[in-house]
A = this chain, B = another copy of it.
Amino acid sequence: MSELKNDLLLRALRGEEVSRPPVWMMRQAGRYLPDYIKLREKYDFFTRCQTPELATEITLQPIDQVGVDAAIIFSDILVIPQAMGMEVLMEEGKGPLLPNVIRTEADIDALIATDIPARLDYVMKALALTKRELNGRVPLIGFAGAPWTLLCYMVEGKGSKSFDKAKQFCFSNTELAHKLLQKITDATIEYLKAQIEAGADVVQVFDSWSGMLGMADFKAFAQPYLLQISDAVSKHAPVILFPKGSWYALQDLSSSSAAGLGLDWSITPQLARQITENRITLQGNYDPSKLLTTPAQIKKEVKEMIDGFGTKRYIANLGHGILPNVPVDNAKAFVEAVKEYGQ
């Protein structure tokens, strides 16, 4: 494996001095990129995920075309429920559908928990191929969905404004919910460790729906599993936790084994630093809808954002995934603004 030519992301996660913060964008591979849209017209979603050559091509597009400081493997958080034996359908532009949701203990017992890495061999192949193609240009990020967020889909069966079926399941069948969360956690730990072995330099855990939970419920149903994953996986590579919407968890999670903490845009850089007391590298948190303005406005605001976070222990990113209708020039302006910072 060739040595990394750009190790800003790893340096930031270790809290080392950097010439400027590293920058990448959640969902940077896909959606808004014309070359991705061309592939989408030819291959369906799971073909794109499951064909290492395609996943690699998509993963590399923003490195070449937008100039980000890290690659994140093109995949989906729902590959874990799929590997555990659940049917997952993905209708373009409509979000996921899991026709046979989890209801009973028997449903949980029927989930496969062994050989998860082997069952997701196509992800490992894509990581290895991407690593080779990157040839040390930038680090490679692997990822997984957090157990709570995966439970949401596995119980609700699809996206939802309130995930009340998933929450009802947790609140009414607490023991079963914990059994399911533990089973997902075990699978996820194996999966992330295998991703690191296959070539991921860093992994991120997306708890996209953690903000649906109140503080006490987050501590019951989300936090313990995030921490289990972080504790087990941090031994092998730096872990970034992204509990979207869970502003109340920042203090606790900043004292965890994780190397980085993703932030959504609801919090100011100053307040996030104050709460986390410089114990952890912070990542975020530009409002994705602001990428719909102009390059000049984006550059001005990104500068203010970095002023707020400071350049150390900081990874410039969005506060959530990039929107499909962002002009590529605006995405580029975001990246350029970070690269120009301090010059």
Contact = CB atoms under 8 A, between A and B. Distances in A.
A168 B248 CA distance: 28
A268 B216 contact: yes
A323 B323 CA distance: 29
Contacts of A289: 162-164, 167-168, 171
A199 interface: no
A245 B247 CA distance: 11
A267 B248 contact: yes
Interface string A211-237: 101111100000000000000000000
Given A162-B323, A164-B323, A287-B214, A171 B266 contact: no
Interface stretch (A43-51, A84-92, A292-300): A292-300
A26 to B, nearest CB: 13
Interface in A236-281: 245, 247-248, 265-268, 271
Contacts of A287: 167, 214, 217
B247 A293 contact: no
B266 A172 contact: no
Nearest to A215: B268
Contact of A265 (B161, B214, B292, B297): B214
Interface residues of A, number: 34
A323 B160 CA distance: 13
A243 to B, nearest CB: 12
Given A172-B293, A247-B247, A293-B171, A164 B288 contact: yes
Contacts of A132: none
Interface string A300-320: 000000000000000000011
A222 B288 CA distance: 19
Interface in A193-222: 211, 213-217
Contacts of A323: 162, 164
Most chain B beta carbons < 10 A, residue from A164, A168, A293: A164
Contact of A292 (B171, B211, B248, B319): B171
Contacts of A179: none
Contacts of A164: 288-289, 292, 323, 325
A165 to B, nearest CB: 8
Contacts of A266: 211, 213-215, 245, 247-248
Contacts of A211: 266
16 contacts: A161-B161, A164-B323, A167-B289, A168-B293, A171-B289, A172-B292, A172-B297, A211-B266, A213-B266, A214-B319, A215-B266, A215-B267, A245-B266, A247-B248, A248-B267, A248-B271
